[in-house]
Amino acid sequence: MAYLGRRLGPSRIFLPGVSVFRLTSSVGMEDMGLAMSRSPLERLDFDNLALRKLPMDPSEEPGVRQVKGACFSRVKPQPVTKPRFVAVSHEALALLGLNGEEVMNDPLGPEYLSGSKVMPGSEPAAHCYCGHQFGQFAGQLGDGAACYLGEVKVPPGQDPELLRENPSGRWEIQVKGAGLTPYSRQADGRKVLRSSIREFLCSEAMFFLGIPTTRAGSVVTSDSRVIRDVYYSGHPRHEKCSVVLRIAPTFIRFGSFEIFKRADEFTGRQGPSYGRDEIRGQMMDYVIEMFYPEIQQNFPDRVERNVAFFREVMVRTARLVAQWQCVGFCHGVLNTDNMSILGVTLDYGPYGFMDRFDPDFICNASDNSGRYSYQAQPAICRWNLVKLAEALAPELPPDRAEAVIDEYMDLYNGFYLENMRKKLGLLKKEEPEDEMLITELLQTMHNTGADFTNTFRSLSQIPCPVEGETEGEDLIRQTTGLLLEQCASLEELKAANKPTMDPRELAMLLSLAQSNPTLFQMISDRMTIARQLDKLSKLKNLMETGQEELRSKQAEEWTSWITRYRKRLGRELEGQSDIQAVQDERVKVMDSTNPRVVLRNYIAQNAIEAAENGDFSEVQRVLKVLEKPFSAQPGLELPAWVGKGGTPEEAERDEGEEPQQEAASTSTSRDPVPYDSKPPAWAHEICVT
């Protein structure tokens, strides 16, 4: 990481209202000292190519408006009162050549990284894009809360692997929550502490899981406040304005190309730049030249270049969603405006990592139809690719795009199976039966209510069979017991299978589906009703089952699957001379593929509640845990307040915050559980919208 000069200690001097650039009488020790005392953020080397290459909105008038014929609008970030750091990611800031400690200790750091001050070379702007939201074209959307600050040149000595993933040689940086833009619609352009912490932690968690993602460099909070009704329940409250620093090669997304869309046949909305096809060509040229240079070099024919570009976006998207599925990640809002043109995870809102395995898992409480459920994600990403192809026409011929999209599901299945084989330690052979073994594992997990993350992590403890073993039944019994620890209790399964729809409403919809199918389709759908009926059926069976009977059924199912799994592991050893080496490699691969810790909702919630009460230490601690998700970390097994009597250390308290009275009944008063455990009982009450 590049950092110029050693940080000055208490002797650092800042002159209010005086720029160090004006203190340049002659070159001497005094001038060198002033230069050294500059904020490290003032030394960032900006080269804002996107603003030079893509059309800029000529108007700088404040307020929400339709922006025609432009990809960006200049904006003025709105300062917050008394900005201060909640946490920084040292690894993410290193992408910019910054030292995390230097930034944390920089008095100007929170001001620059909240948008309250503008760094030298920064050109604040907001990006114009459209999107299909929950299947319907919404027209102009754009950066309603995010603010492009500029593009920072990659510092010398950056990891070659990162340069391969980001061939542009620049990192775009944004602040999210810095105030109004022309695209804020009815909102205020602000983000609050809970949503900012969630985005910050998950951006970094995904990176350390090895999943392509935008990064988050810092979270800043403030004394400025906005009113939010968290659950849309009619009980709004004041919350602190907070800002996340986001980092990526680019934040251009599928919806960026939808600004040219003609009037939609269903919603009647059209893109603000409809008819401006030359801008579409400019955008494609920019994206391909900057972020897909090999395609630009290898395909001199424009049509072939565009087809190759679309195919690469398709491949990256298929690979990404396969990775999501394999860690139990659910994005929650897979609209076309939340899909990156680079195939990285973008925009962390009501996401969730699955606890108990459920293919119908819905992490977004606003997603009543389950459009963006866990099992729907691969198909939804394909649907979004279709919309991207439509947006790229005529630069991308529709028949060529269709042929590319036809490759998607096979590619996705291939990526998924490759990842799952690693999760099961099937490394030496690829057998046709592997797909069925994986399907049966997931079905067993679903039937028994097994925890997704911990069940996969436990599989490396199931030993391969060895020739002449005499304790096979005992081993199977032991490993069955290990997996039973991850299964749901009877009460947990009853709670999970309680229908979310009022019985009277369900009865009315069932009747309507028979008597008036057209009206039924307008207000509901058969998939939703089928899910509710399935829950009712399971709940009825559970009501007639005792805990001991349930545990016996669960043990029977796991014993059956473990027996088949060990037979398959046995075939891994065929023809191998060093059996122990094969077993050691299997365990190593599995334990570096199946995480011990993911950012479960309850872990994020504990950190949020502590931060809202002025204690930022838990956010910082959780980040440390998430930076090594595959490893045990002695001393970091439990939340920070455990052993402190529920009181954070004085040095960790936010100086700008008075402790909230209700905090005693939240995170610090709950029975703590280790970060790598199944979620506590209260976790199912968390509602994310």
Determine phi and psi for 215, rounding to 5 degrees.
-110, 165
* pLDDT value of position 663: 41
Task: Kindly state the helix (H) or strand (E) to which residue 237 belongs, with its residue range.
Answer: strand 237-248
What pLDDT is recorded for position 61?
Answer: 87
C-alpha gyration radius of the chain: 27
- pLDDT confidence of residue 37: 61
Share of the chain above pLDDT 90, in %: 77
pLDDT one-digit tens code per residue, 67-103: 999 999 999 999 999 999 999 999 999 999 999 999 9
Q: What is the mean pLDDT of residues 604-613?
A: 96
| Residues 639-664: tens digit of each pLDDT | 987 766 544 444 356 665 554 444 43
Would you state the pLDDT for residue 242? Answer: 98
Query: Which residues does 596 contact at the CB level (< 8 Å), separation at least 6?
Result: 453, 457, 629, 630, 631, 632, 676
The predicted pLDDT at position 646 comes to 46
**Rounded to 5°, angle at Cα 115 from 112 and 121:** 65
Residue 277: inside a domain, yes or no?
Answer: no
Cβ neighbours of residue 650 under 8 Å, at least 6 residues apart?
none
Distance CA 414, CA 411 (A): 5
Structurally, how many domains does the chain consist of?
2
Instruction: Answer yes or no: is 457 within a domain.
Output: no
Residue 305 lies inside a defined structural domain of this protein = no
Q: What is residue 18's predicted lDDT score, i.e. its pLDDT?
A: 34
Domain assignment of residue 8, yes or no: no
As a whole number, the mean pLDDT across the chain is: 90
pLDDT tens-place string over residues 141-168: 999 999 999 999 999 888 888 778 899 9
**Global pTM exceeds 0.95:** no
- Higher-scoring residue by pLDDT: 122, 527: 122
Digit-coded pLDDT (tens) for 561-582: 999 999 999 999 999 999 999 9
Residue 631 within any structural domain of the chain:
no
Is 641 within the bounds of a domain?
A: no
Whether residue 347 contacts residue 333, with contact meaning beta carbons closer than 8 Å, is answered with yes
d(CA 478, CA 384): 45
pLDDT score for 94: 96
Q: pLDDT by residue (tens digit) across 244-266?
A: 999 999 999 999 999 999 999 99
Residue at 390 is within a domain: no
Q: How far apart are CA 207 and CA 93, in angstroms?
A: 13
What's the confidence (pLDDT) of residue 520? 78
Identify which has the larger pLDDT, 362 or 473.
362
Report d(CA 123, CA 136) in Å as an integer: 33
pLDDT band at 230 (very low <50, low <70, confident <90, very high): confident
At residue 34, does pLDDT exceed 60?
Answer: no
d(CA 151, CA 48): 5
Which of 271, 306, 332 finishes a domain?
Answer: 271
- Establish if 145 belongs to a structural domain: yes
Residue whose structure tokens are 């230490």: 617
Q: In this predicted structure, what is the pLDDT of residue 643? A: 61
Q: What is the pLDDT of residue 25?
A: 36
Instruction: Supply the DSSP string of 535-601, one letter for each residue.
Output: HHHHHHHHHT--HHHHHHHHHHHHHHHHHHHHHHHHHHTTT-S-HHHHHHHHHHHHHTTS-S----H
Phi, psi (deg, nearest 5) at residue 308: -65, -40
Instruction: Return the pLDDT at 4.
Output: 33
pLDDT at 685: 86
Cis before 465 (ω within 30): no
Catalytic positions:
337
| Structural domain ending residue among the three candidates 271, 290, 322 | 271
Mean pLDDT throughout 340-346? 98
Q: What is the pLDDT of residue 3?
A: 29
Kindly report, residue by residue over 610-647, the tens digit of the pLDDT: 999 999 999 999 999 999 999 999 999 999 877 665 44
- Examine the fold and report which residue of 575, 596, 629 is the final residue of a domain before the chain moves on: 575
Domain, as residue range, for 481: 468-575
The arithmetic mean of pLDDT across residues 468-494, rounded, is 89
HEC sequence for 505-531: HHHHHHHHHHHCHHHHHHHCCHHHHHH
pLDDT, one tens digit per residue, over 165-218 is: 899 999 999 999 999 999 999 999 999 999 999 999 999 999 999 999 999 999
Query: Using CB atoms within 10 A of its CB, is residue 25 exposed (0-12), middle (13-18) or buried (19+)?
Result: exposed
Place of tokens 């369900």: 506
Q: What is the pLDDT of residue 88?
A: 98
